[in-house]
Amino acid sequence: MIFQNTELAMERQLMHQFQIDAQQRVNEVKRSFTNITQRFEEASRLPSFRNMRYNQLIMNEIAVKKELRRLELYFYDWIQQGNGVSEITYLNLQGAEQLHVSESEISRNLSDRSQEPEVVEILAQRDGKTVIRESHVDASLEHAITHDNDHDHSDLIWWVPVEISSGKNQGVLRFYLHAEFFQKRFQHLVMAEIGTACVVSDGGNLLFSSSHQQRCEEREGFLNFSEEVELPGQRLTF
């Protein structure tokens, strides 16, 4: 009986420590997302946006183009620093691209995206809040949890309003981050060589799995920890 009680106490202690360690690792990933969001929101407050608005009001198109060029060079340099961002787009309130910068170029072929459902939805919010969305939907939650998933992981997009003054938007910035950027951060969730971890998006897609089978499921005989994390416009399940 003494041995049984000791064994039970050790199991409870092990479970308690596992829960603490797992929570700390999830919190680190949460802080990473928070830091990313803060940096994007800081970019949305660059002086060039306010300068552009002023020059638009006085119909100084040359000055507007100079500010846009300044932003293009700034964002292009930002992407080249290898911070995980692969594309940055600035859309005005009508949904037309004002600049589009990628890893390879500063685009001169700008598009009118005013009819895209997601753009319409984002611009209609007008509440000054950042929204994180998936770039595509590949699989249902049921499929992600119970079946092998041969699809690519979803990429994530940050939609950040550009506010020139309180309550007045100038448009929206779109930051596109490839799934590969998050893999290193999510990999930190794995607590041992034989352990596994996965992250499922609000849309039910598998953003990360440390399992080669790309499965997200509980394993018999393994300790388990799960938590839903609220992000701007997105809920992730760890």
Task: For residue 14, name the pLDDT band (cuts at 50, 70, 90).
Answer: confident
pLDDT of 5 > 70? The answer is: no
pLDDT of 26 > 70? The answer is: yes
pLDDT of 96 > 80? The answer is: yes
Task: For residue 236, name the pLDDT band (cuts at 50, 70, 90).
Answer: confident
118: number of Cβ within 10 Å: 14
Confidence at residue 178, expressed as pLDDT on a 0 to 100 scale: 81
Confidence at residue 161, expressed as pLDDT on a 0 to 100 scale: 93
d(CA 39, CA 3): 54
- pTM of the entire predicted model: 0.80
Confidence at residue 213, expressed as pLDDT on a 0 to 100 scale: 54
Task: State the chain's maximal CA–CA distance in angstroms.
Answer: 87
Q: Which domains does the chain have, with CATH numbers?
A: 2-237 (3.30.450.20)
Confidence at residue 19, expressed as pLDDT on a 0 to 100 scale: 80
Distance set, CA 233 to CA 70, 132, 236 (Å)? 30, 5, 10
Q: Which residue has the higher pLDDT, 213 or 54?
A: 54
d(CA 102, CA 97): 13
Per-residue pLDDT of 181-234, as tens digits, reads: 777 777 767 765 556 777 888 777 777 777 655 566 666 666 777 778 888 888
Confidence at residue 140, expressed as pLDDT on a 0 to 100 scale: 37
Which structure tokens are listed for 41?
């929101």
Confidence at residue 139, expressed as pLDDT on a 0 to 100 scale: 38
pLDDT of 74 > 90? The answer is: yes
Rg (CA), the chain: 22
Q: Summarize the confidence of residues 9-16 as an average pLDDT.
A: 75
d(CA 29, CA 118): 26
8 Å CB contact between 171 and 178? no
- CA torsion sign for 163, 164, 167, 171 is negative
Q: Which residue has the higher pLDDT, 156 or 18?
A: 156
d(CA 168, CA 146): 46
Per-residue pLDDT of 112-161, as tens digits, reads: 999 999 999 998 886 778 999 887 544 333 333 333 444 455 688 999 99
Q: How far apart are the first and last CA of the chain?
A: 38
